[in-house]
Chain A
């Protein structure tokens, strides 16, 4: 697609007369129809059966390439110009158009089907006092519909009544905001009284006045007028289309927005069309080729003018021109167009289609990859965009979210601090306990426990059993202060529906420690405290939000006491404590630091006894404020603030955020591939840093970790400047020294190894500072510093800032960026980056829907980039090189012939050959290469991340490569023309009759061309599967079959004027001399290429060359290898460990090295030790093979990891 089509079709386009306010009357279709609101019919399909052809063709001809060929076709119809028959262009053009049209039609068919499926879903609509089944598309604004459990909401609906008490109902909004937890919606009391009484509901004639349709999912402002009363409506009373009803038997609602005006539809924007750098390069190159074509046209036109003047006019006896055309200049002008037609094949018509076919193939390979399939979630990887594959082989920056991406987003309650005492074992031993299967705390005293819960400090249970009041209060708070929904499927089998996994973990912890949250109604919460049911009256929930960073509940316990329980971010809670708590606060915050230091997520807990009178007064204010139409939230916020003062600190909780499998390994592998990984997270600094340590992105042995967390612009600037100076200074020294080491100390691999570790810095920047640093003045220095650092972590960033950071790198670095995330907050980043990857994990679908690729585990990224990306890039580049080469070799023969045919635009080949060359004779082998080729197999791609480098440096296809391959094409065409020319100058057949006629000449050159390009594709193919064999040999066979068919008597008798080549193939190809010419041409075209390639791989082998040679050798020696495996492996082991142990560096490390998952490591030494160990393992394995393969280990280490040697390898 040269120019992506951006049509005028837009679901969001609105009529010019914008709706300012919406009036909807229940049960009154006549009234509502006056406003022409959208109905509930959804149409995402582009075409109908009848409009498909015109609209699709119109769209297709808007593409530059197609339009170009249409113009050519028109030119060909002018007889004075026409140098080729019309079918030479129309056959490929029709083929290309058909393929695209079929693809569009299939896409549209599926859209039709999905539209159809959605539109015909059944819903129950209250019509004329009766509940009737209706299709979704027939639901109108103002209708009252009945929803049942686990049904999708058909439109944006105002909740009127439900089966649950107080008009409550529960929904899951995964499709809207990606959150899988349940949300509560509550109807107005007046409407919830309507219940399920159909008659009453049919009489309901309230009128809703509300905002016009918009895409804000969390806001709704409206008012209900009913029976002369006015009720304010907010988002809490709305059920949006796309939600699913849960835990609610039924509910009734009134449709406010339908169809395309629903918030869901308003939100699904057009997916932004991403293009790869190769796409852009390709467009440039096509324009260049176009320019080149015009140049050739001009040269030949000038030649024609001169020829007509000097030679042609003497020749008129034979070539009689019309008088009109007798001017040489005019003849030159016509020749220009004729040559444009003849030479048009340098602009490859099938290029874009072929590229799309390749990408589609590569996408399928990604979808089919079993090694990217996550069985626990039954999720295969999915390429959601098929246009970006080769860019996966060029990624230089990865921007990763933390939660759910690096981590599993599984929260485990691991520690707590209650009243100044910490509970929960130190982390380090826990790992061993885990691995050595030491018993966990026994919760058998509690019949309602969650069996999956683990805790390793029995002293806390003792404390509970001793009924220490503060400990009890601590867990009571955890059991009361939350928004979790319980679901008790059978007696004692509780399942919690939690808004955030943290909350779930806390409530589960409370449950296991004997404070079981069992049931809730809007006004009560029932706990089983140590087996006894206790019911608390729930008076108010002061909910979480981003600003408040805390939540509180106000409850009345059975004894009648009023209590406020609060949990929240430590800083926020500490600010609101009673002064008497200072000492406890001090110890607790020490504990908190400790927890944070271990990478745990912390919350502080506090409570307060409330005074009855004060509370009553406050409650009145609250009711008043909540009825307010304006500034409701601000007012509520102020009221909450008022009551959450003078709290008593209880303690703090610490939740472990588990790392996903294989994250540290993946990160170090990607780092070795020279990909920079930046973590952008909304978490706080400490948490982010700790995840950094556990993923080996931060290490103790790092030179410097710059933490930038200032609040003013100037400070940020200063800190960045300092950081830059600090890095620049020592790094220069180090550069020289590391070179020294590389030269002199070839055997001490460990010191080389260390050098690279030391030569690293890290930058950690928080959201405040980032806001300043992203401003125009500072962004350059931020980028400089960040790129000098090995690791960059941005914490406390907003979704917008994530996108800004990506944008910054994209703008200034000209590097390919990849963003990976799982949540709704990563969507902006995913959309901004060149490639967006979604983790199809816990937090719903939002990120996945916005992404280009999705899979279930972060570690698959390694495979996606190093295997699939690398292959795609390699294949695409080879494909393009060959494609341009082929077209030049094919077309430029006409150029050379021009000099010998009076620049008359006579073609060399048969017209049918020109028609079929690109689409039949040569298309399949190159497609097969583009789909199946593997320069290096997947094991090696993963084992040597260095092989990823050519993609980042853009080495396989760039302007230089393009020139090389077009030059090769030009040379080939030259040889293809002039060797037969020399041979045919005075050739005759072996029976004396002539052979140097045009048709024999054409057949000879065409045959040589087909053979030469087939041999060339054979040389370019590294991986000859059966398909490649079939296509390459098949193409040759098809060429000869078609050649003989077209030159046969039979077809000539039927169409004598279309197939004038009758008998030529027979008469030419039975001549030995013709075959000698073909052989000579082939050898002369191919041997220089072979020599060049051989010299290149022999003298300056790239990493890839080396690897493929290695594979070859390995394959050859496989037998020997298996026999010597054991001892060689042992050898490698010995070497790696011995030096480490003797140096004493790993003494601390050694004790913890059995842990497979370093995620929960408390200390930095531990993590780095782990990392070193992993590295050693990896290297050990490689070395082991090295020893076996070649027996030269030392040699390898000399070059290993020395950056400059790499550089030289690629610059040559």
Chain B
């Protein structure tokens, strides 16, 4: 306020009184409403022993069973994990990991054998796992163009500047950006080895690994679903590290171009530097035979993806799932721990309240 002066005050009317005639007739007595008199009806909860202690017990009693349930469910899930990075000289992939670079033209393959001690039932999910890979790095995360991936034609020809330095390589890159450029491109194949040493390839489903919304909303090929991809992508170039242009990722038109599910899965960047991404689905055959019976398997890896430089790790994971997802002991244990702590805390509080509290609560407020 610039100055204490106010014309109304000069007038001799106290601020608030309207006109000379009006102020006389209308009383300035404040309205008697619950709101203005701060008498709004209200609920006044207080933390008393009667409410707090039962809360602790109830939480304990709810959390412990949940925890046990989660833990048991998690334990019932079959999961198999194999590291095929090949850092160890004894590993079959050692050679591939040492010689490989993005630019090499020859394919390097390696074969790992493993055995499953227990049969895997129901649908089995095949993941690749990467460690020490910072998909959550800011420069990496923002290096994409969602408009381009959504099939916007202008973005296709002139990708967003966020994609730098994978923006243009003489021609605009499609899909642009560091994420797409570093797409995981190992090929994993699984064979079952019969007791009589015959290798049966296990059918791996390529589709259905991405979120529905991603596949149908977020990612779209330019020019609509039925367009000729080769023609549409004319005038763009493939990402630097890719071997094939985006329109040759798959022969199935429903899984090619930007809606290729491997691309979609890769483009959904992981939150943490160690992550797994769904690679293939092994569908259950029938209820009688397990999807993956007990026995020996070989994993054939076409080793394209270099992780050696940053001490990354590559894994292949086979897993079944339950209502709560994959194997995840953390939640179960956490629930059991928190539940127990709450329960114990409840007991301790009850003890303290009984022993020391209460006496003071006889409302001895000095007047």
- Tell which of B7, B132, B278 touches A114, judged by Cβ atoms closer than 8 Å: B7
Task: State which of A370, A982, A1087, A1103 has its C-beta within 8 Å of the C-beta of B330.
Answer: A982
- B114 to chain A minimum Cβ distance, whole angstroms, is 19
Q: Is the CB of B331 within 8 A of A983?
A: yes
A1053 to B37, CA, bound (A): 50
In the bound complex, residues from chain B placing their C-beta under 8 Å from that of A378 are 27-29
B324 touches A44 (CB 8 A): no
Is the CB of A590 closer than 8 A to any CB of chain B? no
Instruction: Please indicate the chain B residues that have their CB under 8 angstroms from the CB of A1080 in the complex.
Output: 331, 334-335, 338
8 tightest Cβ-Cβ pairs between the two chains A and B: A1063-B213, A114-B7, A1001-B271, A1098-B357, A368-B36, A314-B310, A992-B125, A268-B5
Residues of B within 8 A of A849 (CB): 4, 9
Q: Given known contacts A992-B319, A1112-B46, what 8 new A-B pairs fall within 8 Å (CB)?
A: A369-B30, A988-B319, A992-B125, A994-B275, A998-B269, A1052-B217, A1052-B218, A1076-B70
B296 at the interface (CB under 8 A from A): no
Q: Are A1200 and B366 in contact (CB under 8 A)?
A: yes
- A368 lies within 8 A of B37 (CB): yes
| Residues on the A chain within 8 Å of B29, using CB | 370, 373, 375, 378, 380
Given A271-B4, A1024-B42, do A1057 and B147 touch, yes or no (CB 8 Å)?
yes
Task: Check if B268 sits within 8 Å of A988, measured CB to CB.
Answer: no
A902 CA to B132 CA in the complex, in Å? 10
Q: Most B CB atoms within 10 A — which of A265, A897, A902, A986?
A: A986
Contacts A902-B137, A994-B278, A1095-B349 hold; do A1190 and B40 have CB atoms under 8 A apart? no
Q: Which of A264, A315, A370, A979 gathers most chain B CB within 10 Å?
A: A315
> Is B157 at the interface (CB under 8 A from chain A)?
no
Q: Contact at A901–B137, with CB atoms within 8 Å?
A: yes
A382 near B272 with CB under 8 A, answer: no
Choose one: A901, A981, A989, A1106; the contact of B363 (CB below 8 Å): A1106
Decide if the interface of chain A is mainly helix, strand, loop or mixed. Answer: helix
Instruction: Name which residue of chain B comes closest to A80, CB basis.
Output: B139
Residue contact B281 to A1056, C-beta cutoff 8 Å: no
The digit string for B129-156, where 1 denotes a CB below 8 A from any CB of A, is: 0001111111111000111001010000
Check if A207 is an interface residue, CB within 8 A of chain B.
no
Residues in A with CB closer than 8 Å to B366 are 944, 946, 1196, 1199-1202, 1206
* CB-CB nearest in chain A for B215: A1063
Instruction: Please report the C-alpha to C-alpha distance between residue A1080 and residue B328 in the assembled complex, in whole angstroms.
Output: 15
Contact A984 B324 (CB under 8 A): no
Q: How far is the CB of A1208 from chain B (nearest CB, A)?
A: 11
Question: Within 8 Å CB of B234, what residues of A?
Answer: none
Asked whether B323 lies within 8 Å of A1027 as measured between CB atoms, the reply is no
| Nearest A residue to B332, CB-CB | A1076
Contact A996 B10 (CB under 8 A): no
Q: Is the CB of B276 within 8 A of A994?
A: yes
B176 beta carbon closer than 8 Å to chain A: no
Known interface pairs A370-B30, A1111-B44, A1195-B362; A1063-B214 also in contact (CB < 8 Å): yes
Residue of B nearest to A311 (CB): B310
Q: Is the CB of A983 within 8 A of B365?
A: no
Residues of chain B lying within 8 A (CB to CB) of residue A269: 3-4
Chain A nearest Cβ from B314, distance in angstroms: 14
Partner among B70, B210, B342 whose Cβ is within 8 Å of the Cβ of A993: B210
Residues of A within 8 A of B125 (CB): 988, 992
Interface segment, one of A281-289, A437-445, A1067-1075, A1143-1151: A1067-1075
Question: Of the candidates B36, B211, B276, which one forms a contact with A988 in the assembled complex, judged by CB atoms under 8 Å apart?
Answer: B276
Which of B31, B181, B325: most chain A CB closer than 10 A?
A: B325
A845 at the interface (CB under 8 A from B): yes
Indicate whether A1073 sits within 8 Å of B325 (C-beta atoms), given known contacts A271-B4, A985-B274, A1101-B360.
Answer: yes
Within 8 A of B (CB), among A303-352: 311, 314-315, 317-322, 338
In the bound complex, do residue A369 and residue B37 qualify as a contact, i.e. CB atoms below 8 Å apart?
yes
Pick the residue among A938, A1076, A1099 that contacts B324 (CB under 8 A): A1076
- Inside 8 A of A373's CB, which chain B residues have their CB? 28-30
Q: Known: A1109-B361, A1190-B362. Contact between A118 and B328, CB under 8 A?
A: no
B364 and A1195 within 8 A (CB): yes
A801 is an interface residue with CB less than 8 A from chain B:
no
Residues of chain A within 8 A of B43, CB atoms compared: 1024
Min CB gap B267→A, angstroms: 10
A-B contact pairs, 27 of them (CB 8 A): A83-B138, A111-B6, A175-B10, A242-B10, A244-B12, A320-B166, A897-B136, A901-B273, A902-B134, A902-B136, A983-B330, A988-B127, A989-B321, A990-B324, A993-B210, A994-B265, A996-B270, A997-B271, A998-B141, A998-B271, A1027-B40, A1076-B331, A1098-B49, A1108-B46, A1112-B48, A1178-B367, A1179-B367
In the complex formed, the residue of B with least CB distance to A981 is: B272
- Residue of A whose beta carbon sits closest to that of B16: A382
Interface string of A926-956 (1 = CB under 8 A from B): 0000001010001000011011000000000
**A988 to B70, Cβ gap below 8 A?**
no
Residues of chain B whose beta carbon lies under 8 Å from any beta carbon of chain A: 1-12, 14-16, 27-32, 36-38, 40-49, 52, 55-56, 59, 63, 66, 70, 102, 123, 125, 127, 132-141, 145-147, 150, 152, 160-161, 165-166, 178, 181-182, 209-214, 217-218, 265, 268-278, 281, 306, 309-311, 319, 321-328, 330-331, 334-335, 338, 342, 345, 349, 352-353, 356-358, 360-367
**Are the C-beta atoms of B356 and A1067 separated by less than 8 Å?**
no
How distant is the Cα of A448 from the Cα of B16 in the complex, in angstroms? 39
State whether A906 touches B217 (Cβ < 8 A): no
A673-702 interface with B by 8 A CB criterion: none
Chain B residues within 8 Å of A1113, by CB: 363
Q: Is the interface of B mostly helix, strand, loop or mixed?
A: loop
Task: Tell me if A1110 is interfacial: C-beta within 8 Å of chain B.
Answer: yes
Asked if B2 and A993 make an inter-chain contact with CB atoms under 8 angstroms apart, the answer reads no
Closest residue of chain B to A331 (Cβ to Cβ) is: B139
| Cross-chain contact of A1196 among B160, B322, B364 (Cβ < 8 A) | B364
- Does A1094 lie within 8 Å of B47, measured CB to CB? yes
Q: Is A1189 an interface residue (CB 8 A)?
A: yes
Which chain B residues border A271 with CB–CB below 8 Å?
1, 3-4
A1025 with B326: CB separation less than 8 A: no
Indicate if the CB atoms of B213 and A1098 lie closer than 8 Å: no
- Is A11 close to B, CB under 8 A? yes
A1006 within 8 A of B: no
Tell me, in angstroms, the Cα distance from A602 to B87 when the chains sit together: 108
CB nearest to B29 among chain A residues: A373
A-side contacts of B66, CB under 8 Å: 1076
Contact with B along A1073-1117 (1 / 0, CB 8 A): 100110010011001001101110111110100111111110000
Q: Are A322 and B165 in contact (CB under 8 A)?
A: yes
Instruction: Give the chain B neighbours of A1056 by CB distance below 8 A.
Output: 146-147, 150, 152
Known: A271-B3, A382-B16, A1113-B363. A1049 touches B213 (CB 8 A): yes
Minimum distance in angstroms from A1106 CB to a CB of chain B = 5
Bound-complex Cα distance A1073 to B37 (A) = 47
Any B CB within 8 A of the CB of A633: no
* B105 to A: closest C-beta gap in Å: 18
Given A906-B137, A983-B331, CB of A992 within 8 Å of CB of B281: yes
A1093 to B52, CA, bound (A): 10
- Contacts A996-B275, A1025-B42, A1062-B218 given; does A338 touch B138 at CB 8 Å: yes
